[in-house]
Structure 1
Amino acid sequence: MKYTKSIISGLIVIVIVVLIFLSGTTVASGNRGVLLQLGAVKPTILTEGFHFKFPFIQTVQQIEVRVQKEESTQSAASRDLQTVTTKVAVNYSVDPGAVNKLYQEIGLDYRSRIVEPAIAESLKAITAQYTAEELISKRPEVSAKVKDMLASKLTKYYMMLEDINIKEFAFSEEFNKAIESKQTAEQNALRAQRDLERIKIEAEQKIAQAGAEAEALRLKKQEVTADLIQLKQIEVQEKALEKWDGHLPSVTGGATPFIDVNGLKKE
């Protein structure tokens, strides 16, 4: 009888320990706990740490609320009917205060059921509003519109969009060649325009230089007077006398010939 009581007491202790063990649960860091009672979602949301629950009646489903990353590659048609393949990275998180509703209405596969389709739909809708060239030149604007539309879609399903980054726009080979040809033509046109401007400036400089030279010549002509001409003639004669060796030429090119006086004396 004594041993029977001891065994019963031991079993009771074991049962109590097991119940205590089953009554406790721990929610990991970066998660929230959805409390389920006999399969039904309760409004209580368990935060990080240790919590008590009714064993065999209540269970806890943990859902991550940290920022998650989703990368997607989607093909869509632009406004000018060019095929555009867009690679995008999306950062989002589950609303910590609505994990119970997310689990109840969507479940744990919210990424494939909500996030991926929302990204694809947003990219296709915004891409169709722009031409292929505008997608490149207005990339920040396109990214902002995709972000607004995607944020609106995720908010309906208890998720928050943190950020979006369009990594790449890829086009068909034919379109890439057309863009390259256009850029080459634009560069050639710009080069020709610069050459034309250079030639125009050089011509204007030559005209200005010729005008300056003509003006200088006109001023010099205004300075030439009869007195100045006489003075120049005197200067020339003085320089000639400085170089004269004292012998007169026999004949000059003038109307009256010079006669060699020394020769006449000898005769």
Structure 2
Amino acid sequence: MKTILRNACIILLAASTLSCVTIRQGNVGVKRTLGKIDPDFMEPGARLYNIFATKIITVPVRTENIEVTLELPSKEGLNVKADISILYHIEKSKATEIVGEIGMDYESTIILPVFRASAADVTAKYMAKDMHTGNRFEIETAIKEQMMKIIGSRGFEIEAVLMKSIQLPQGLYKAIEEKLEAEQDAQRMEFILLKEKQEALRRTIEAEGIRDANQIISEGLTPQIIQYQTIEAYRELSKSPNAKLIIGNGQQPILLEP
């Protein structure tokens, strides 16, 4: 009986030191036992651990989004305010290293400082207007690549850097709008000039056609042909049942209705 009670006490004591944690999808578990990090990460699922000696740290490996607002320098020395999203995730195989070497505050410890330095380094090579036009994608890609050179080997995968909102200095906004309006006016004028040139070409071709036709007709109107057609006109008039008075010299008849 005493043995049974002793075993029961041992079981209850062991059970009281155990706890269960559930690692959800999109996360992995990192086990720390007596201050030492286990090199193998734990896949999603339920896990038992000793609450006095072990701690299970949940590390997200799904895509995370960091929203940042900062002022970026431009090539001409202006400061451009930007709202930027950084999309990243942690590689599963590097989760234990990140927890052991950097800690769970890795966003403020490494990702954001590297982003700020990379963004400033890249945008300083571009004019302020480039951040507001078609070069935005090029700038975003350059910042991402610069970040990956620094922290890619540490287990962080930068998926994208998205410049969502760009606020240029007010004077620069006006200058860009004026330039765009001038370019639109120039394009509109080019279209008008092209249309006028096409219309002028059409008229020239039409006039040349009329001239050539008249020239052909005039070259074919010999005196003999004119006389022949006059005779034919007399013949057709003679067939008419109506009474007519024709006065002419055989070349140019004049028709008078009685």
Shorter-chain TM band: 0.7 to 0.9
Number of aligned positions between the proteins: 241
Q: What's the secondary structure of 1:45's corresponding residue? A: coil
Tell me the equivalent position of 2:161.
164
Which residue is 1:139 aligned to? 136
Of residues 108, 115, 119 in structure 2, which corresponds to 1:119? 115
Kindly provide the CA deviation profile for residues 116-164 of structure 1, in whole angstroms up to 9, marking residues without a partner as x: 2222222222212222333322233222222212223332433222333
Aligned to 2:34: 38
What is aligned with 1:98? Answer: 94
Give the superposition deviation at 1:185: 0.7
1:199-251 Cα shifts (integer Å, max 9, x gaps) = 22222222222222222221122112222333355467675995239xx9xxx
5 Å-filtered alignment, 1:1-267, equals 10=5, 13-29=8-24, 30-51=26-47, 53=49, 56-135=52-131, 136-234=133-231, 242-244=243-245
| TM-score normalised by structure 1 residue count | 0.75
Task: Report if aligned partners of 1:27, 1:46 keep a CA contact under 8 Å in 2.
Answer: no
- C-alpha distance in structure 2 between counterparts of 1:49 and 1:90, whole Å: 29
The structure number with the bigger radius of gyration is: 1
Q: Provide the secondary structure at the position in 1 that maps to 2:41.
A: strand
Q: 1:221 to 1:53 in 2, by over 3 A?
A: closer
Show structure 2 runs of 5+ residues with no match.
248-258
- Given that residues 91 and 164 in structure 1 are in contact (C-alpha distance below 8 angstroms), is that contact kept between their aligned partners in structure 2? yes
CA contact (8 A) 1:93 1:159 kept: yes
Give the RMSD, CA atoms, in angstroms.
Answer: 3.1
- Cα 1:225/1:55, change in 2 over 3 Å: closer
Q: Distance in 1 between matches of 2:139 and 2:188?
A: 32
Could you tell me how far apart the structure 2 residues matched to 1:54 and 1:237 are? 130
Whole-angstrom CA distance in 1 between matches of 2:92 and 2:41: 9
Query: Matches of 1:49 and 1:242 in 2, distance apart?
Result: 119
- Structure 1 gap ranges (5+): 249-267
TM-score by length of 2: 0.78
Quick one: which amino acid aligns to residue 245 of structure 2?
W
Q: Please state how far the C-alpha of 1:44 moved relative to its aligned partner.
A: 4.3
Residues 101-123 of structure 1, C-alpha deviation per residue, up to 9 Å, x if partnerless?
Answer: 22222222111112222222222
Q: Which residue of 2 aligns with 1:252?
A: none
AA aligned to 1:244 is L
Structure 1 residues 120 and 12, CA gap change in structure 2 (3 angstroms): same
Task: Using the aligned pairs only, state the percent identity.
Answer: 24
Query: Shift in Å at residue 186 of structure 1?
Result: 0.9
Q: Distance in 2 between matches of 1:180 and 1:14?
A: 81
How far apart, CA to CA, are the structure 2 residues paired with 1:221 and 1:51?
A: 108
